[in-house]
Amino acid sequence: MIRDGHQTGTATRFALVSATLMIAHQVAGKATRDAVFLSHYEVTDLPKIVITAAILSMVTVIMMSRLLVNYGPSRAIPAAFGFSTFLFIGNWWLYGTAPAKVAILLYLQMAIFGAVLISGFWSVVNERFDPHTAKHTIARVAAAATLGGVLGGLLVGRVAETLGVRSMLLVLAGLHFACFLTVRAIGEPRRGAKSETNPTMQSGLQLLVTNRYLQLMGLLMVLVAVMAALLDYAFKSAAAARLSSGEDLLVFFGQFYAAVGVVTFLIQSALGPRLLKRYGIGITLAVMPAVAFGIGILSIVTAVKLWSIVVLRAGQVIFTNSFFRSAFELLYTPLPPLIKRPTKTIIDVASDRLGDVLGSGLLLLLLAISPALPATVIIGIAIFVALITIAIVRRLYLGYVDQLATSLRDGAISLSVDEVIDATTRHTLAEASGPMEREILMTKIRQMKQERGAVDPPISGDDIAVVAVATDDIDPAVLHEASAAVADLMSGRSARIRRCLSRPILDMRLVPYLIPLLANDEVAEDIRMELRWKAPQTIGALADALLDPDMPLLARQRIPSVLEVTHNPRAVDGLFGGLHDEEFNVRYSCARALARMNERDAHMVIVAADVFDAVEREVSVDRAVWKSRDLETDISVSADTALAAFVGDPRIDYSMEHVFTLLSLVLDRDALMLSRHAVLSSDRNLRGTALEYLENVLPENVRQGLWPHFGEAVAGPRRRRSPSDVVADLKRTVDRKS
């Protein structure tokens, strides 16, 4: 064990050094590439070389994918670094006699090896370390890579000022040779980390054609690359117009990339993880196109000065390399390995290169129409692409949530809470199951994945004996198994009930025996878990039981937390039917389940008139009935632990809580939450502001019924303001008090 720990520590150190050197080379190489090319060719030739380089890069992706499969990343990637070293030495030798040819060769070499080697390096790291070590190591390696970007930019400027452009080619060769040594020293993959193979696995392109989620990911990468190509051309065109010599261009690009690296490091370190944790993947992905849109508008307004183009390009690069990249990597979380592996390289590299081709092709078309292409036109098109990108981010975010929840429930992926770093995934994981059942859900997923392929169900859907009208043709063993299951469920003994639930698969027709057991506190959590798995196929039985007055009340109160896992319209109708029930606890539980469903699905169809009718029924009771409502028991098991902690608390006005839960289905949830707390406040100004907001958004009949339950009359006319103004005032008042 000590030896393994020592080897892991050594591998970590080499990974840190490799990442620093590799990204330093990438930044320095890009600056050198741009400086050499623009000092020997016109900027209008840039789209042509970009298209050529992108096509060659896509071919390289296919070749490298095969090499990685045949030889593994730990062998193929160091060999590629070594081969690139010799190419840089050859370019240095040729530069003295044919610098123009070297300008083309260098551009192509950087395009072919750049992204492929970086992607391959991360494969080496991922396969070398176990998941526990990787969680800590990869964060350090990413920080080292960011530091390498800063050092690469500083290195370019220093070498250009002292030794010249040609010497930079030898420096680049030395950096890749050092990468060859250090990546090789990281070591072979850990045992059990070999790539899984599946002879029936679909190719990456086939998966992309059939999977809408993957298509959106690829489209997003293409749009980002198109936007980057447009802004990069505008940036380099402005630089080439201002600077003429290769040394000046090299110093300029070096300083630019160094500054971008520093700002990227600071922003990602200070804000990156916090943004992901608080706002999730959607907002984090949208920051980059939003910044490009805002600065682009500012640049056009200021008549496109050099400084505005530099700021625009810098902002796009900074937020792409920080927020966007970190969030985009998390989009692969919902995908099982057999889908992720054949498609990741295509999406990461090939889609990016396709965007380069499209962006450069568009530039060539514009240059053919107008050789003196103004920067305003280019930036205007980039702004339009940024808007499309934001729209795609929105659709991709919704697809991510659906894909993640589906994969979790189907057992296609397995996540533990400490592996989740962004707010979106944490929220979806939490909504896929209650807090206390989360570990049960993970265990169940793993169990079912194993048992589906290894265990035959003891009771088939057609052979269960307890519900068969005729038993002459029933296998005696099946009859005995079914009878034993029913006997266990009806025994009233927790141990026997759990024994029945431990069977690999329970027949759907045992559901009527399961539902009443929700009233048994000792097994309610296990029963609810089993019913949730069967909910999509048993909506009718669950909805009937919800409204059955002969069903134990506590079981009826807990049925909504089962129905809420399926967003089938029949389940929604069943829960709305529960809002008419005579028992307050049933209505309360149905409302909270609907609220959780609505929070997960913004497109859930809810008829506002039905909600207001339900609220009107609730507020139409007299004050004595209103105050007498209470939750004597924990109605939702683990589905709502925040509520469970206060069950039976006399300080809680459950009638008011229920009404505001209903209103949140059709009104602004955050504003209602502020109003609910403010109405109960002793601060008359705060209370008055909340009442004013409610006056603006509630129908008259609902308002008249609700007002008496606030405990005092609301007298006198009130100045009418818009709901948004009232909410803003309410927030300011709350902030001052806090």
CATH of the domain at 7: 1.20.1250.20
Residues 335-361 have a mean pLDDT of 80
More confident residue, 69 or 21: 21
Residues whose CB is less than 8 angstroms from the CB of residue 5 and which lie 6 or more positions away in sequence, other chains included: none
CA distances from residue 299 to 257, 380, 634, 705 in whole angstroms, order as listed: 20, 10, 59, 55
Query: In this structure, what token pair is assigned to residue 421?
Result: 């770093």
Residue listed under structure tokens 């997923």: 445
Taking only the tens place, the pLDDT of each residue in 32-89 is 888 889 888 888 888 899 899 888 888 887 787 777 767 878 888 999 999 999 999 9
**pLDDT for position 713:** 38
- Residue 511 covered by a domain: no
CA dihedral sign, ordered 661, 667, 669, 674: negative
Three-state secondary-structure class, residue 681: coil
CA distances from residue 581 to 519, 565, 656 in whole angstroms, order as listed: 18, 21, 18
CA distances from residue 73 to 169, 199, 515 in whole angstroms, order as listed: 26, 20, 53
Distance CA 216, CA 401 (A): 13
- CB distance 323 to 284 below 8 Å: yes
Residue 437 predicted with pLDDT over 90: no
pLDDT > 70 in the chain, percent: 73
**pLDDT for position 181:** 94
Q: Which phi and psi angles does 332 have, rounded to 5°?
A: -80, -10
Q: From 552, 558, 618, 553, select the one nearest 592 (Cα to Cα).
A: 558
- Residue 607 covered by a domain: no
Confidence band for 592, pLDDT divided at 50, 70 and 90: very high
End-to-end Cα distance, the chain: 53
- Residue 113 covered by a domain: yes
- Residue 76 covered by a domain: yes
- Residue 622 covered by a domain: no
- CB distance 57 to 116 below 8 Å: yes
Distance CA 254, CA 230 (A): 20
Residues 560-580 have a mean pLDDT of 90
- Residue 322 covered by a domain: no
Confidence band for 523, pLDDT divided at 50, 70 and 90: confident
Distance CA 359, CA 368 (A): 14
Distance CA 650, CA 667 (A): 27
Query: In this structure, what token pair is assigned to residue 250?
Result: 């090299």
Distance CA 34, CA 27 (A): 11
Domain of 172 in residue numbering reads as: 1-191
- Residue 71 covered by a domain: yes
Confidence band for 21, pLDDT divided at 50, 70 and 90: very high
Distance CA 383, CA 369 (A): 20
Long-range CB contacts for residues 296-300, cutoff 8 Å, separation at least 24: 296/379, 296/380, 296/382, 296/383, 296/386, 297/383, 299/379, 300/376, 300/379, 300/380, 300/383
Q: From 442, 448, 443, select the one nearest 504 (Cα to Cα).
A: 448
Q: Does the global pTM surpass 0.75?
A: no
Please state the length of the chain: 738
pLDDT > 90 in the chain, percent: 24
- CB distance 423 to 278 below 8 Å: yes
User: What is the tally of structural domains in the chain?
Assistant: 1
Taking only the tens place, the pLDDT of each residue in 123-174 is 787 677 654 455 456 657 777 887 888 888 788 777 767 777 888 999 999 9
Residue 236 predicted with pLDDT over 60: yes
- Residue 202 covered by a domain: no
